């Protein structure tokens, strides 16, 4: 079907309210002047009278090229699917703030191809079944043309699968496990956030000279992300001489880590790796201090953000971690980062976490892809995203075509004491910044077998 003058706009859904469209229910006729097809009658279940009127309109359009077409939709719905309760709620709420800042800015400047963005919001509770049902509702009931969000790899993988089934773009935000763009990659999914392989490689390059031959004890979140991080770290450090003495798996949402920490205390490791996130990491690290482990071992937290470091307070001092973005660092180096951070602070009275930064950029990347395509058609969008190079709040970055992984820098950070912080969120000093291509999964070793459509 040729692209209409309104840009492959899907069918109008009057029962949803507003000007929303459904691509599976539009009726198109040929405009002989423009030699393109355009939508003229798009009710889902027309009455007999509506059907006759629509048919007459179509007939008249073809015969006389005097066409009365529906107006372009005034709004586009995007699904914001983030944890607002549960162990990762701090991260989800901060992403939601960033999405809303980006949407407000975009709408104030005319929207996306002249259409205003509306949000459909869901609390995924960091539970995959809930996340999937939220996304399904957003797509089927609310007419969402894009889904974004998440703060766990488990929810991201599940939603990515649904979006592939529904042929709906999924801009995965805070998902760190390799699987999202590796084993479970999908044609309709893009992930800009660093993955576990990138973090492991970056940590190894920075720390192996000092800690590579020590005894390592792991406390690991027992789901896809935790397993991914553990596998990546051990594959890098063990060949260099590191010895893994234990890996204790803990369920998501654990509040009492004493059973794992008592084992760590008895093992006397050189390095304690806490692969936990959100409130789980805060609890694990603060309890580690009670067991004396923050003094007796080097603590690694493979991924952290501002809320986690704030919650841990002085217990985050000297902890080594990675992050794709740190507002104190990037806002001093990149004008667009400073503009974003200043706008976020002005609106919310606190700086953005790294997940919030990714949410903000993802919304603009989706907008840019739609406008470069000149269409809401997912395939046209994907073609314009694959291989696209850009600079946003960091240095140069790009979307890889073969797995839809965003390639950008990875920072290795080390925590500082509360007394040394300019504000409660200024939690670290930057040890090293690694080039994304140098630490990314290579195509020759990737498990990604992305679909053709």
Domains and CATH numbers, the chain: 11-64 (no CATH), 75-195+329-409 (3.40.50.2300), 197-324+411-438 (3.40.50.2300)
Q: Concatenated DSSP letters for 309-369?
A: HHHHGGGGTT-EEEES--HHHHHHH-HHHHHHHHHHHHHHSSPPPHHHHHHHHHHHHHHHH
What are the tens digits of pLDDT across the range 392-437?
999 999 999 999 999 999 999 999 999 999 899 999 999 999 999 9
What are the tens digits of pLDDT across the range 148-163?
998 999 999 999 999 9
In angstroms, rounded to a whole number, what is the distance separating the alpha carbons of residues 65 and 34? 9
In angstroms, rounded to a whole number, what is the distance separating the alpha carbons of residues 380 and 388? 13
Are residues 61 and 67 in contact, defined by beta-carbon separation less than 8 angstroms? Answer: yes
Which two tokens mark 373? Answer: 């395509």
Q: Which residue has the tokens 């979140």?
A: 221
Q: Which residues in the chain land under pLDDT 50?
A: 1-69
Q: Which residue has the tokens 């709620």?
A: 89
Are residues 191 and 181 in contact, defined by beta-carbon separation less than 8 angstroms? Answer: yes
Are residues 175 and 183 in contact, defined by beta-carbon separation less than 8 angstroms? Answer: no
| Length of the chain measured in residues | 453
In angstroms, rounded to a whole number, what is the distance separating the alpha carbons of residues 410 and 146? 27
SS3 letters for 414-441?
EECCHHHCCCCCCCEEEEEEECHHHHCC
Residue 183 makes CB contacts below 8 A (sequence gap 6+) with 447, 448
In angstroms, rounded to a whole number, what is the distance separating the alpha carbons of residues 169 and 77? 12
In angstroms, rounded to a whole number, what is the distance separating the alpha carbons of residues 289 and 72? 59
Using the CB atoms, write b or e for 292-326: b if 16+ within 10 Å. ebbeebbbbbbbbbbbbbbbbbebbbebbbbbbbb
The pLDDT assigned to 20 comes to 41
In angstroms, rounded to a whole number, what is the distance separating the alpha carbons of residues 303 and 220? 12
In angstroms, rounded to a whole number, what is the distance separating the alpha carbons of residues 88 and 149? 12
What are the tens digits of pLDDT across the range 314-365?
999 999 999 999 999 999 999 999 999 999 999 999 999 999 999 999 999 9
The one-character DSSP state at 177 is: S
SS3 letters for 202-216?
HHHHHHHHHHCCCEE
H or E element in which residue 189 lies:
strand 189-191
The pLDDT assigned to 271 comes to 96
Alpha carbon 285 to its chain's center = 25
Nearest CA-CA partner of 393 in 348, 334, 448: 334
Are residues 187 and 452 in contact, defined by beta-carbon separation less than 8 angstroms? Answer: yes
By the 10 Å C-beta count (0-12 exposed, 13-18 middle, 19+ buried), 378 is classed as buried
């Amino acid at each position: 079907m040729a692209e209409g003058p309104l840009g492959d706009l899907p069918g109008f859904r009057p029962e949803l309210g507003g000007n929303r469209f459904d691509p599976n229910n539009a009726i198109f006729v040929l405009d002989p002047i423009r030699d393109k097809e355009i939508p003229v009658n798009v009710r889902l279940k027309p009455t007999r009278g509506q059907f006759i009127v629509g048919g007459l309109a179509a007939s008249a359009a073809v015969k006389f090229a005097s066409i009365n077409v529906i107006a372009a939709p005034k709004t586009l719905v995007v699904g914001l699917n983030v944890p607002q309760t549960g162990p990762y709620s701090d991260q989800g709420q901060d992403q939601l703030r960033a999405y809303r800042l980006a949407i407000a800015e975009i709408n104030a400047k005319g929207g996306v191809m002249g259409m205003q963005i509306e949000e459909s919001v869901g609390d995924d509770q960091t539970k995959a079944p809930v996340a999937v049902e939220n996304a399904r509702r957003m797509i089927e009931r609310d007419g969402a043309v894009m889904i974004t969000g998440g703060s766990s790899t488990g929810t991201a993988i599940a939603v990515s699968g649904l979006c592939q089934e529904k042929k709906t773009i999924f801009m995965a935000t805070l998902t760190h496990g390799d699987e999202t763009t590796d084993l479970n990659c999908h044609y309709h999914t893009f992930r800009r956030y660093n993955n576990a392989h990138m973090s492991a490689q970056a940590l190894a390059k920075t720390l192996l000279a000092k800690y590579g031959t020590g005894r390592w004890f792991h406390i690991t979140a027992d789901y896809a992300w935790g397993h991914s991080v553990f596998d990546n770290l051990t594959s890098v450090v063990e060949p260099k001489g590191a010895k893994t003495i234990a890996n204790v798996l803990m369920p998501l949402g654990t509040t009492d880590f004493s059973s794992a920490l008592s084992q760590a205390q008895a093992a006397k490791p050189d390095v304690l790796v806490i692969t936990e996130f959100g409130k789980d990491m805060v609890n694990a690290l603060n309890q580690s201090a009670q067991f004396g482990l923050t003094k007796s071992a080097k603590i690694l937290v493979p991924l952290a953000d501002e809320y986690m470091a704030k919650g841990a307070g002085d217990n985050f001092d000297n902890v080594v971690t990675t992050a794709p973005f740190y507002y104190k660092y990037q806002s001093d180096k990149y004008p667009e980062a400073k503009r974003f951070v200043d706008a976020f602070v002005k609106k919310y009275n606190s700086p953005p976490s790294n997940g919030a930064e990714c949410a903000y950029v993802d919304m603009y990347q989706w907008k840019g892809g739609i406008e470069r395509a000149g269409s809401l058609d997912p395939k046209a969008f994907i073609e314009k995203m694959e291989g696209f190079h850009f600079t946003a709040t960091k240095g140069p970055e790009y979307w890889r075509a073969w797995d839809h992984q965003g390639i950008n820098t990875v920072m290795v950070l080390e925590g500082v004491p509360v007394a040394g912080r300019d504000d409660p969120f200024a939690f670290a000093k930057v040890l090293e910044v690694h080039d994304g291509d140098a630490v990314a999964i290579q195509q020759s070793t990737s498990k990604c077998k992305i679909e053709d459509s």
